Amino acid sequence: MPKLPINIVWFKRDLRFTDHEPLYRALEQDIPVLLVYFFEPSLIQYPDSDVRHWRFVYESLTEMQGRLEDRNGRLYLFHQEVLPVLDALTEHYSIQSMYSHEEIGNSLSYQRDKEVKVFCDLHGIQWKETPTNGVIRKLRSRKTWQKRWDERMHQPPFLVREHDWNLVHLPSILYDSLKGEEIPVDFTTRNPKFQEGGECWAWKYLQSFVQTRHQGYSKSISKPEASRRGCSRISPYLSYGNLSMRMVYTFTKQHEAQSNHRRSLQNFISRLHWHCHFIQKFEDECRMEFEAINLAYQSLEKKRNMDYIKAWEQGKTGIPLVDACMRCLVETGYINFRMRALVVSFFVFNLWQDWRDLAHFLARQFLDYEPGIHYPQIQMQAGITGVNTIRIYNPIKNSMEHDPDGIFIKKWVPELKAVPPSLLHEPWKLSEMEQKMYHVNLGQDYPFPIVDVENSRKVASEQVWAIRKTKMARQEGSRILQKHVNNPKNRKG
């Protein structure tokens, strides 16, 4: 019996139906479409992965499933590697084409994609990948990048028709034999401390920001507490593709003209550019996952200190703002940009630890983990690009400036709850009497600082600047600017 010809849409980090080019293209054809998503054990076990990510993915998929019920369709979830399932499907179906977005993931997903490509070529399956947001694969030069980004954002979205989707229904015997083990209960159980995944939530966050919340954007963007409401919080929805960048851009532009806070929306839009700009860097030089982009900094050796690393991870460094940020991040999956930069700075400069020893830990904590932003940002904040300003954040000054009343600190470091704001930012200065008055016994309830902030800053600064001045660092710097910056003379990021 001849095999039924089908097309496949493979959902990856693009968990939506709106403005989804692969889905749109597949539904245009006169061939039934099989919708699939893979919870790949290898990716789940990779050290950058955390249950919070997969829960968000599961929530997104559940919402999509719900919408498919109206169309009498189904999105098939596999808790399996991709290739064995594709291989088995070829025994039952004649797969004509597979549609997906280009994925800019970690080294493991890159390797998997290369293997899938070989498989498709071998089986005569056309794998049609379409670009993700503003990122351009095999980009030759950055010169026209910005123009092409604008063009993509102004293209009409790919809106699929509401009804008559010609979808494949897998026989249950076949699906049961392929779907793999049950999806872990941790993935399927809601945790209210984290933002919920799905297109519907994505639009709620975007709408409330663009229609009202953006009013406080510029004022709250650097504040650890106020940013939680004042920033858009759309990052996980972009990372898992619940929203396309084009839809975010178009929607924001539509509201910009009527806003009394246009400046805020313009600042927001510039960050949408950065989103793709950073991912483009990673797309063009993905060794950044493992190596310093500026090769001169490969020689920078730091002695690993597990006590420091643990104290930092657990929010027990004795520096209240750093500790509050780390505890909040672990518990909720979010801190704002400045606080991310600050905790990285504290780790790589004050604690003098290698950026590679924080990269996976932070990836696991950020609900919005996006490899293409994560690695370039970490390297930038670690001062090892040789082209960006080296910024060593002073955690005490930042604490006084951005959490003057200690609202954020007291929330996450309750040991210091009774300490008045004037003494809170440097608790190690509390006298014994003050410790008694404010119910904190330093060294027992809350640690003394594990490093001297000022001395460690000076030592670190000398060392990173010494490398920055070498011929190799400068040569590498020029190469980086040529490769990754639109106009090297007028650069940002």
Is 242 a binding residue for ligand FAD by CB under 6 A? The answer is no
Q: Counting contacts by CB under 6 A, is residue 369 touching ligand FAD?
A: yes
Residue with Cβ nearer ligand FAD (370 or 415): 370
Stretch that binds ligand FAD, among 145-153, 300-308, 314-322, 332-340 (CB under 6 A): 332-340
Query: Cβ–Cβ contacts within 10 Å for residue 158, how many?
Result: 19
Nearest approach, Cβ of residue 340 and ligand FAD (Å):
4
Binding flag, residue 53, ligand FAD (CB under 6 A): no
Nearer of residues 380 and 440 to ligand FAD, judged by Cβ: 380
Among 113, 129, 225, 368, indicate the residue that binds ligand FAD (CB under 6 A): 368
**From the CB of 89, what's the least distance to ligand FAD, in Å?**
33
Q: Given candidates 238, 311, 325, 416, which one binds ligand FAD under the rule CB under 6 A?
A: 238
Stretch that binds ligand FAD, among 51-59, 86-94, 371-379, 453-461 (CB under 6 A): 371-379
For residue 137, the number of C-alpha atoms closer than 13 Å in the C-beta half-sphere is 10
Q: Does 235 bind ligand FAD (CB under 6 A)?
A: yes
Beta strands in 318-384 (DSSP E): none
Cβ atoms of 251 and 206 closer than 8 Å = yes
Give least dist CB 468 to ligand FAD, A: 20
CB under 6 A: which stretch of 176-184, 368-376, 460-468, 471-479 binds ligand FAD? 368-376
Which of these, 223, 240, 230, lies nearest to 205 by C-alpha position?
230
Q: 304, 393 in Cβ contact below 8 A?
A: no
Q: Which stretch binds ligand FAD (CB under 6 A): 182-190, 311-319, 374-382, 466-474?
A: 374-382
Residue choice 35, 243, 341, 351 for contact with ligand FAD (CB under 6 A):
341
Burial of 100 (0-12, 13-18, 19+ CB in 10 A): buried
Full 3-state SS string of 276-292: HHHHHHHHHCHHHHCCC
Of residues 262 through 301, those in contact with ligand FAD by CB under 6 A are 268, 271-272, 274-275, 278
From CA 110, how far away is CA 94, in angstroms rounded? 26
Nearest Cα to Cα of residue 491 among 147, 381, 480: 480
- If DSSP codes are grouped into helix, strand and coil, which group holds residue 442? strand
| Residue of 337, 434, 447, 479 interacting with ligand FAD (CB under 6 A) | 337
Per the structure block, which two tokens stand in for 366? 């950020």
Q: How far apart are CA 75 and CA 372, in angstroms?
A: 27
Q: Which is nearer to ligand FAD, 296 or 348 (CB)?
A: 348
Using CA atoms, how far residue 376 sits from 230, 238, 304, 382, 465, in Å, is: 25, 17, 22, 10, 19
Taking CB under 6 A as the criterion, the residue among 133, 381, 385, 456 binding ligand FAD is 381
Closer to ligand FAD by Cβ: residue 76 or 205? 205
- 99: phi then psi, degrees, rounded to nearest 5: -110, 135
Binding of ligand FAD at residue 364 (CB under 6 A)?
A: no
CA distance linking residue 65 with residue 75, whole number of Å: 6
Q: Which is nearer to ligand FAD, 95 or 136 (CB)?
A: 136
Please, what is the minimum distance in Å from the beta carbon of residue 2 to ligand FAD?
A: 47
Q: Which residues of 275-303 are buried (b: 16+ CB within 10 A; e: fewer)?
A: bbbbbbbbbbbbebbeebbbbbbeebeee
What is each CA distance from 207 to 212, 213, 233, in whole angstroms?
8, 9, 11
Binding to ligand FAD, residues 474-493 (CB under 6 A)? none
Tokens of 178: 């392929």
Which residues sit opposite 180 in a β-bridge?
A: 79
CB nearer to ligand FAD: give 166 or 267.
267
Number of H helices and number of E strands within the chain?
25, 5
**CA 323 from chain center: how many Å?**
22
List b or e across 159-181, with b for residues whose CB sees 16 or more CB atoms inside 10 angstroms.
ebeeeebebbebeeeeeeebbbe
Comparison of 13 and 25: residue with beta carbon closer to ligand FAD: 13
Residue 373 is a binding residue for ligand FAD (CB under 6 A): yes
Least distance (Å) from ligand FAD to the CB of residue 281? 10
Q: Does 430 bind ligand FAD (CB under 6 A)?
A: no
Considering beta carbons, is residue 239 or 350 the nearer one to ligand FAD? 239
Of the listed pieces 97-105, 152-160, 227-235, 466-474, which binds ligand FAD according to CB under 6 A? 227-235
**C-beta of 127 vs 274, nearer to ligand FAD:** 274
**Are the C-beta atoms of residues 98 and 10 closer than 8 Å to each other?**
yes
Q: Which of 370, 403, 415, 476 binds ligand FAD (CB under 6 A)?
A: 370
Q: Which is nearer to ligand FAD, 170 or 485 (CB)?
A: 485
> Which range binds ligand FAD by CB under 6 A, 35-43, 67-75, 152-160, 226-234?
226-234
Where on the chain is the footprint of ligand FAD (CB under 6 A)? 231-235, 238-239, 268, 271-272, 274-275, 278, 336-337, 340-341, 344, 366, 368-370, 373-374, 377-378, 381
